[in-house]
Amino acid sequence: MLIVKKFGGTSVADKERIFNVARRCVEEYQKGNDVVVVLSAMGKQTDVLLDMARDINPKASKRELDMLLTTGEQTSVALMAMALNSLGVPAISLNAFQVAMHTNSVYSNSRLKSIDTERIKTELDNRKIVVITGFQGINKFDDYTTLGRGGSDTTAVALAAALHADACEIYTDVDGVFTADPRLVKNARKLNEITYDEMLDLASLGAGVLHNRSVELAKKYGVQLVVRSSLNNSEGTVVKEEVKMEKLLVSGVAVDRNVTRIAVMGLEDQPGVAFKLFNHLANHNINVDVILQSVGRDGTKDISFTVASDDADEAVEIIERHREGSLKCEKVDVEKSIAKLSIVGAGMMSHPGVASAMFEALYDENINIKMISTSEIRVTVIIDDNKVEKAINAVHNKFSLGE
Ligand code: ASP
Ligand code: MG
């Protein structure tokens, strides 16, 4: 069997944890399996590097940032190979360049395009454990790129797909995927299984367990994932196409606090205004999420939307730049202290009243809803950030998700 194991930053944060991971990999290897290990940077190293960069130059180019950030993963894989060697097991570390993991040319948020598997296969044939840097790739200029924060999950899934691995295990510091973030909701329950679609919504909604593109890729290539703890042997959560159990009405409640709302007020109420606004943002690779447009009044309208907080300043700059030209408007308003709360469940499709039950739970806590958006299997609301804990617990209880 060929097994891809991915370990997050907390799982390799220090010497003791590195050896803990190394021993788990050796166990797998000694069963006769081929083992490919994908690692994140140690602990909070990526943040440390980002702080160093900001200190030197707050406007550092994304190319140089990627050059810097990829050193985090390069450190952890080299140390892991050394740890494995010291346990008497042949191992080799490889970075994105050595494997040849090609991405598009977008820095800091690139997408994997192809992976050469030859080098990896040769090393596996020589019975080595192959330890590969997560999060990074190379583009057509032979520059390093990164896949976006949390992107090591995506590296692992892409490798599992390219190598036709028999299993892809994502190890983290929690026991699996929960009905809500256990740090916010005390009685959150671990799910045994979840569908790709639900996980996709939970991942992109900020549940924080998996990088959303990793789930997209897993669905596309039919890679079954297991999310489990690196610190114990509990079973974890299986992420796959169909779950055996009856579909849950609501599988989980997710929170994303890293959101900013931008309201563009007094836009001309004319065809093409929304297109121009969002096209300008798309041209700068800024992802827009919940969108709300007001009813036109006296020839003007307001459009508000949310973006990841890291993109907010740039988004506002772009809009300001076009205010005299294609985007005439009266005012641009920014609200940072908001959060996105979502319920997700495949069973929602066939059951009315789920959204209203969620709204009632918030009403009971006197929490105001600022924006709403829905899909077939999801309801999302934007609320004040300081109400998040109260809100998530209220909604979690409303659907009796806890233990
Ligand atoms: N080290 C990167 C990050 O902190 C990638 C990852 O951990 O998946 O975002
Ligand atoms: Mg992660």
Whether 248 shows a pLDDT value over 90: the answer reads no
Give me the mean pLDDT over the 44-61 stretch.
97
pLDDT digits (tens, 9 = 90+) for 221-243: 999 999 999 999 999 999 999 87
- Judge contact between 349 and 379, C-beta under 8 A: no
Q: Which domains does the chain have, with CATH numbers?
A: 2-173 (3.40.1160.10)
Reported confidence tier of residue 204, pLDDT bands at 50, 70, 90: confident
Q: Ligand 1, from 152, 210, 310: best to mutate by most atoms within 8 Å of Cβ?
A: 152
SS3 159: helix
Q: How many angstroms is it from 279 CA to the middle of ligand 2?
A: 30
Which ligand does the CA of 40 lie closest to? 1
Phi/psi of residue 130, nearest 5 degrees: -105, 120
Confidence (pLDDT) at 120: 98
Whether 247 shows a pLDDT value over 70: the answer reads no
pLDDT digits (tens, 9 = 90+) for 83-103: 999 999 999 999 999 999 999
Residue 268 and residue 326: Cα distance in Å, rounded? 10
pLDDT digits (tens, 9 = 90+) for 344-355: 998 888 888 999
CA distances from 369 to 146, 305, 306, 366, 373 (A): 35, 14, 14, 10, 11
Q: Is any atom of ligand 1 closer than 6 Å to the C-beta of 43? A: no
Pick from 254, 247, 275: nearest CA to 341: 254
pLDDT digits (tens, 9 = 90+) for 56-84: 999 999 999 999 999 999 999 999 999 99
pLDDT digits (tens, 9 = 90+) for 283-303: 998 999 999 999 988 999 999
Residue 200, token pair as written in the block: 């996709």
CA torsion sign for 167, 173, 174, 180 is negative
Phi/psi of residue 125, nearest 5 degrees: -60, -30
Q: How many angstroms is it from 123 CA to the middle of ligand 1?
A: 25
Confidence (pLDDT) at 244: 67
pLDDT digits (tens, 9 = 90+) for 326-341: 899 999 999 999 999 9
Give me the mean pLDDT over the 247-273 stretch.
93
- Judge contact between 21 and 13, C-beta under 8 A: no
Whether 5 shows a pLDDT value over 90: the answer reads yes
Amino acid in position 360: E
